[in-house]
Chains A and B, each alone.
Chain A
Amino acid sequence: MRLLPILSLFTVLICGPVLAAGGKTLRMAYDADPASLDPHEQLSGATLQLSHLVFDPLVRFRKDLSLEPRLATRWEQIDERTTRFHLRDDVRFHSGRLMTAEDVAWTFNRLKQSPDFKALFEPFEAAKVIDEQTIDLVTKGPYPLVLNLATYIFPMDREFYTGTDARGAPKDAVVKHGSSFASANMSGTGPFIVTGREQGIRLELKRFDGYWDKDSPGNVDEIVLTPIKEPATRVAALLAGDVDFIGPVPPTDLNRVQSAACCDLVAIPSNRVLTFELNQKRVAAFKDPRVRRAMSYVINREASPRRSCAGKPPPPANLSPPGYAGHDPALQPPYDLAKAKALMKEAGYEDGFSATMIAPNNRYVGDARIAEAVAVMLAKINIKVDLQTLPKAQYWQRFDARDADIMMIGWQSDTQDSANFYEFLAMTPDPKTGYGQYNAGNYSNPEVDRLTLQTQTMTDPDARAEVLKKIERILYEDAALLPLQWQHLAWAARKNVKIEPVVNVIDMPYLGDLVIE
């Protein structure tokens, strides 16, 4: 008699996996797992990747950066400050509730409270619910990037996150340090539901039966996400068949993975630009545009170290990557040693000078190697570089203190728009407004400041693109910074896992649409 409950327990244990075995399971290894399940706690790639699994945005980017309707089916401009979104009426949360405009408004208000997200949503005044399926986003002034920011609005289940948890803390609190209800519980509208989580070890998800998007070709029923920190192990795990999908693939292994019979490699240039900033506060010579241009001329960007030709991105002359409104294909990366020497002579620095350089060694792909290569190139115009590379944990302290002459930074635009580059990297630093927060070179050009501010309220896309391109040209002529490369994104998967259609330049694989054969 007593055995019976135990036996039935066994049946459950044995039958459980068998029942689930009808669908496909994806085992994916990536470099870091999200620190929290709260989509508004941290503005980071890991958080947004998770958001795309468990939630859905109003709109999302396609591969070519055009916008694809998701929870919003269509939208229109009502007046110069108001955009109206029409929502799907058949979307259910994992809790079973129907999603309405109230949930969107609630989510919007929570974003405005989040320390990480509120700066992005600063141009917005309010979200106004018109009816169950209609919502207006109202901006403080004319604002061109309403749709770009709508990609950050992943409606959360208002009722699920309302009230207080077991400890009496409000469930909707955004807690940056320490635990909270939202950091451990989720209810969204997305294709997957989190079923198990051991932070740093694994995250398990299963497909949501009531998912609204019946047209999605995705056939993955279960996902097991495993962080594997060490790139060589990540690659080995794929090649050994222990996992089906990995990202990122380290540059040293691109060729190895590409030639492996078991697997497919997908590599594309990302929209993160890697650049050096020249600290004008510490080095008088850097105030002279001729010196900065000479430094740009002497860097042979084609020669920057690379072991694979897979998906080789064009070397940048712009800060804006291709596909962005401000990207000007007419600008070509300069490389002219004679001209560089002539410019140095003209500026009176024929004999060169010494400069310190810092770069991280575990933050960006190939960061330390690229810095070494540039240091060698700069020696050709007698700039003797004293290079120090540091782990990222220590690097940002040095960067924030601006205590080197040449500093590396990688930047991607959170708004997927060119102006973001100028606001953070090129505008005159101003602690009050926050502009130029990462302009460690202290480059200052009133024209760039004025034009960048102007683009913030321009709603005519063509006229705005002209101004953005103009800024890009000024920065190029001035050699305000030294853009070096667009960073790589590389993923690899077993042959039967068709990752190519679901990966994208913003590095958020849409696993809901993934097909496993």
Chain B
Amino acid sequence: MKALAAGAGFFARRLFQALLVMLAILVIAFAVRTSLGDPLREIMGQAVPESERAELRHELGLDAPWPLQLVRYLGRAATGDLGTSIIYKRPTVEVVLAKFPASFELVLGASLIVLLLSVPGGVYAAVRPGTLGARLILGLSVLGISVPVFVTGILLITVFSVWLGWLPAFGRGETVDLGVWQTGLLTLDGLEHLLLPALTLSSIMLPLFIRLVRGAMLDELDHDYVRTARAKGAAPLRVWLVHALRNALLPLVAVGGLQVGTLIAYTLLTETVFQWPGMGFLFLEAVTRADIPLITTYLVLVGLLFVITNTIVDLVSLMLDPRISLEATP
């Protein structure tokens, strides 16, 4: 009973938090609205008389002061209308959500690559410190973080698409429509298209996670229980992977959850380089073309996404570590 109440309280707090975050984002988005540019420039020809432009601006309510625009927006939002995209001419929520699967699959692909490479890499660097292999892993991972994502992307395209001709240079390839979700994961073509962007996106996370795994592993390897296990004659591999790694994963989950934000931020660049039809690409296009309603909705939805991810991270931490309780989680 007590746990149930604690759970309900936790979710209520999170819901409240999400609303606050979205409101804060809205206030900021509306305050900077006028400096985002004039969307009418994008939808009207250059030679169109100013009077036509003023008329449409008024029609769209863009000539009102921003607090008034915000109040109007909130009024419409209460009825479920978050505005119509200027360039896509459809409800903004629909436009952004239609791009969500592509971004999600890209982030998923990148996370898988990070996981598959950072855990073995980090463990190896921890258990065999100072060896050539360990130095190579750490050295290469530094390279990954020092090269801008944009350059990594172009480099990969040049090598694997232009020179070798192995992988496609842009886009998402063939997708399968699962009703609400268009997936590129079920076709070979889709997977081929995913590889380079996912690799590019993973390159910024990889160094951090290798170091994280290595640090956590080194920490654990120092503990008495590891020595005890070794003294009892357990095989080294078993000690590393079953005993130490399991405990080392805890900080990984916590930090990993926080890094989702960074990953989303870098989807902007990655998706642009690869013409990946996801949310990040959409957002950058909305910014360059001053599609103010679309920008606003994107920010609100990403704010929501952050709160949701953090909630999931908290729940996973809870499962992994019995010492953490919902009551203590803000």
B169 touching A233, Cβ below 8 Å: yes
Stretch touching chain A among B5-13, B287-295, B310-318: B287-295
Assuming A35-B87, A177-B59, A233-B273, is B38 touching A396 (CB within 8 A)?
yes
Contacts of B34 in A (CB 8 A): 397
CA distance A236 to B157 in the complex (A): 7
| Contact (Cβ within 8 A) A232 B170 | no
Give the one of B47, B49, B52, B272 with max A CB within 10 A.
B47
How many Å lie between the Cα of A391 and that of B172 in the bound state?
Answer: 28
In which size bucket is the chain A interface?
35 or more
Task: Check A177 against B169 for contact (C-beta < 8 Å).
Answer: no
A-side contacts of B36, CB under 8 Å? 393-394
B208 to chain A, nearest CB (A): 26
Segment at the interface with B among A57-65, A239-247, A315-323: A239-247
| Given A116-B44, A176-B43, also A230-B87 (CB < 8 A) | no
CB-based contact A43/B277 at 8 Å? no
CA distance A330 to B157 in the complex (A): 48
Q: Which of A115, A177, A179 contacts B60 (CB 8 A)?
A: A177
The smallest C-beta distance from B47 to any residue of chain A, in angstroms, reads 6
B88 located at the interface, meaning its Cβ lies under 8 Å from any Cβ of chain A in the complex: yes
**A36–B172 CA distance with the chains assembled, in angstroms:** 23
B320 CB, min distance to chain A CBs, angstroms: 40
Number of interface residues of B (CB under 8 A): 50
**Are A242 and B169 in contact (CB-based, < 8 A)?**
yes
Q: Which of A29, A178, A241, A411 contacts B165 (CB 8 A)?
A: A241
Are the C-beta atoms of B48 and A115 separated by less than 8 Å? yes
Which secondary structure dominates chain A's binding surface? loop
- Supposing A116-B45, A201-B277, A237-B170 touch, asked if A35 and B89 sit within 8 A by C-beta, the answer is yes
Q: Which residues of B contact A29 (CB under 8 A)?
A: 170
- Whether A394 contacts B35 by the Cβ 8 Å rule is yes
Which among B45, B50, B161, B285 has the greatest number of chain A C-beta atoms within 10 A?
B45
Contact of A431 with B by CB under 8 A: yes
Within 8 A of B (CB), among A197-245: 198-201, 226-230, 232-233, 236-237, 239-242
CA distance A414 to B88 in the complex (A): 25
> How far, in angstroms, from A199 to B88 measured CA to CA in the complex?
7
Interface residues of B in 73-113 (CB under 8 A from A): 84, 86-90
- Give the CA-CA distance A224 to B87 in the complex, in Å: 21
On chain A, the residues within 8 Å of B157 by CB distance are 232-233, 236, 240
- Give the shortest distance, in Å, between B233 (CB) and chain A (any CB): 56
Beta-carbon contact of B275 and A227 below 8 Å: yes
Which of A380-403 touch B at CB < 8 Å?
391-394, 396-397, 400
Decide if B44 touches A176 in the complex (CB within 8 Å).
yes
- Whether B48 and A119, one on each chain, are in contact in the complex, defined by CB atoms closer than 8 angstroms, is yes
B48 touches A116 (CB 8 A): yes
CB-defined contacts of B170 to chain A, threshold 8 Å: 29, 226, 228, 233, 236-237, 242
A348 to B146, CA, bound (A): 53
The smallest C-beta distance from B83 to any residue of chain A, in angstroms, reads 11
C-alpha spacing A438/B172, complex, angstroms: 41
Q: Hey, which chain B residues are within 8 Å of A474, CB to CB? A: none
Q: Please tell me if the beta carbons of B38 and A115 are within 8 angstroms of each other in the complex.
A: no
* Cross-chain contact A35 with B275 (CB below 8 angstroms): no
B121 within 8 A of A: no
In the assembled complex, the Cα of A241 lies from the Cα of B60 at a distance in Å of 43
**B30 contacts the other chain (Cβ, under 8 Å)?**
no
> What residues of chain A lie closer than 8 Å to B162, measured between beta carbons?
236, 239-240
When distances are taken between beta carbons in the complex, the residues of chain B under 8 Å from A36 are 89
Q: For A241, list chain B residues within 8 Å (CB).
A: 165
B168 proximity list for chain A (CB < 8 A): 240, 242
The verdict on A232 contacting B154 (CB below 8 Å), with A392-B288, A393-B290 known, is yes
A9 within 8 A of B: no
Q: Complex: how many Å from CA A177 to CA B287? A: 18
Would you call A44 an interface residue if the criterion is a C-beta within 8 Å of the partner chain's C-beta atoms?
yes
A187 within 8 A of B: no
Is A434 engaged at the interface, CB distance under 8 Å to the other chain?
yes
Question: Chain A residues with Cβ under 8 A from B51's Cβ?
Answer: 434
Closest to B59 in A: A177
Given contacts A236-B154, A237-B170, contact A362 B288 (CB under 8 A): yes
Instruction: Please pick, from A176, A233, A393, A434, the residue contacting B275 in the complex, using a CB distance under 8 A.
Output: A233
- A2-41 contacts to B, CB under 8 A, are 29, 35-36
Q: Are A200 and B154 in contact (CB under 8 A)?
A: no
Q: What residues of chain B lie closer than 8 Å to A229, measured between beta carbons?
A: 272, 275, 281, 285
Given A177-B89, A200-B285, A226-B171, answer yes or no on A43-B45 (Cβ-Cβ < 8 Å): yes
The chain A residue sitting closest to B269, CB to CB, is A230
Evaluate whether A119 and B35 lie within 8 angstroms (CB atoms) in the complex, with A240-B165, A242-B161 already known: no
Q: What are 23 inter-chain pairs, A to B, with CB distance below 8 A?
A: A29-B170, A43-B45, A43-B46, A44-B45, A115-B44, A115-B55, A117-B45, A176-B43, A176-B44, A177-B86, A179-B89, A179-B90, A201-B172, A236-B154, A236-B169, A242-B168, A393-B42, A393-B287, A394-B37, A397-B37, A397-B38, A414-B47, A438-B46
Q: List chain B positions with a Cβ less than 8 A from chain A.
A: 34-38, 41-52, 55-56, 59-60, 84, 86-90, 154, 157-158, 161-162, 165, 168-172, 272-275, 277, 281-282, 285, 287-290
Q: A200-B88, A233-B157 are in contact. List 8 more A-B contacts (CB 8 A).
A: A36-B89, A117-B45, A119-B47, A232-B154, A236-B170, A393-B37, A414-B47, A437-B50
In the A-B complex, list the 4 residue pairs whose CB atoms are closest, starting with the nearest.
Answer: A393-B37, A43-B45, A240-B161, A393-B290
